[in-house]
Amino acid sequence: MTAVGTTTPPEAAAPLRTRTVVWRGLTRSPSGFVGGVIVLLVMGFAFLGPLLIDTTNPSNSDLIWTGPSSEHILGTDGQGKDSFLTLVAGGAEPLWVGILAASIAVVVATVLGSIAGFVRGKLDTFFLQLTDITMTIPSIVLMLVLTAMFRSITPTAIAVIIGLTTWAPLMRSVRAQVLSLRQREFVEAARLQNIPVRTVIFAEVLPNMAGYIFVNFILAINNAIYALVGMYLLGLLPSTADNWGLMIQESWKSGAFKLPEAIPYIAAPLALIILFQIGLITMGRSLEQALNPRLRER
């Protein structure tokens, strides 16, 4: 029973759930909604396609570099394989590597940057020196050396290498954000209540950086996919399975880009990669506004 003279807070005044905030952020912007749809469609094509379509793709020497037809909608490649089936089978690896590599880079950068910016002192100095050392080593060169050393490297290992060589710049940005937030009143109040540092960082500081971290996660996925495709294009990764990057590399190595019949084979993976990245960027802008309280009401 409610006491006389008091009122029950309306349901609308309750804090919005994260999924509600995300959904409203996507639907309030047409470009963000379209970007989200594009991302889901490309991921569905890459991850669900091989489960729904038989990707058994034998070679046929009589069908080398043929154009699109009713039987082969994207034509065939240099081995006489169906280009569409190769496209379906080759999408999961670059997207998986991009997402995993970005997750590793963002987690490492966020944890180290938060600790360095909030705790300061010797830890801050140590992490900054570690970041300086990492940034002085060209990441692309380090990735090339490591992948050249392990010719039978797995996609997961590639993702780990990319993630552990690309976290340093983001760590400095996160540290700078934390240095600013640690001076805010709500953080000072939490510290005066003797709340553990770990709780203050993860419950007070990081939620206010959710939009910033998410946008950098999106950019990290794009950079990781570019790095993976670039290494395939240079022939530095093993060609043991179908892969969008490998499709581009094979067409370049064989000179097939000069053949009109090979254009669908080259253009299809490029188009999906570009669409996926455009979708991520437009979706990321909308979610940044949804997750950032200062931008949410604009």
Tell me if 246 is assigned to some domain. yes
Q: What is the pLDDT of residues 239-254, one digit of tens each?
A: 667 888 888 888 887 7
- The helix/strand/coil state of 76 is strand
Backbone region of residue 75 per phi and psi (left: phi > 0; alpha: psi in -120 to 50; beta: other values): left
CA–chain centroid gap for 224, Å, is 7
Tell me if 204 is assigned to some domain. yes
Residues 26 and 36: beta-carbon distance below 8 Å: yes
The confidence score (pLDDT) of residue 42 equals 95
**Domain encompassing residue 155:** 20-48+81-296
The confidence score (pLDDT) of residue 8 equals 41
The confidence score (pLDDT) of residue 12 equals 38
Tell me if 69 is assigned to some domain. no
CA–chain centroid gap for 261, Å, is 33
Strand partners, 82: 76
Confidence label for 14 from pLDDT (cuts 50, 70 and 90): very low
Q: Which of 12-21, 22-31, 82-91 has the lowest mean pLDDT?
A: 12-21
The DSSP call for residue 28 is S
- Calculate the average pLDDT of the chain: 82
Q: What is the CATH number of the domain that holds 99?
A: 1.10.3720.10
Tell me if 248 is assigned to some domain. yes
The confidence score (pLDDT) of residue 112 equals 93
- The helix/strand/coil state of 239 is coil
Q: What is the pLDDT of residues 73-105, one digit of tens each?
A: 999 998 899 999 999 999 998 999 999 999 999
CA distance 99 to 159: 8
Tell me if 270 is assigned to some domain. yes
CA distance 105 to 172: 12
The confidence score (pLDDT) of residue 9 equals 41
Tell me if 201 is assigned to some domain. yes
The confidence score (pLDDT) of residue 45 equals 95
The confidence score (pLDDT) of residue 294 equals 55
Q: Which residue has the higher pLDDT, 126 or 6?
A: 126
pTM confidence score: 0.83
Number of independent structural domains in the chain: 1
Q: Closest Cα to residue 259, out of 61, 59, 62, 64?
A: 64
CA distance 137 to 132: 9
Residues with Cβ within 8 Å of 110's Cβ and at least 6 positions away in sequence, in order, are: 170, 174, 206, 213
CA distance 129 to 132: 5
Residues 147 and 161: beta-carbon distance below 8 Å: yes
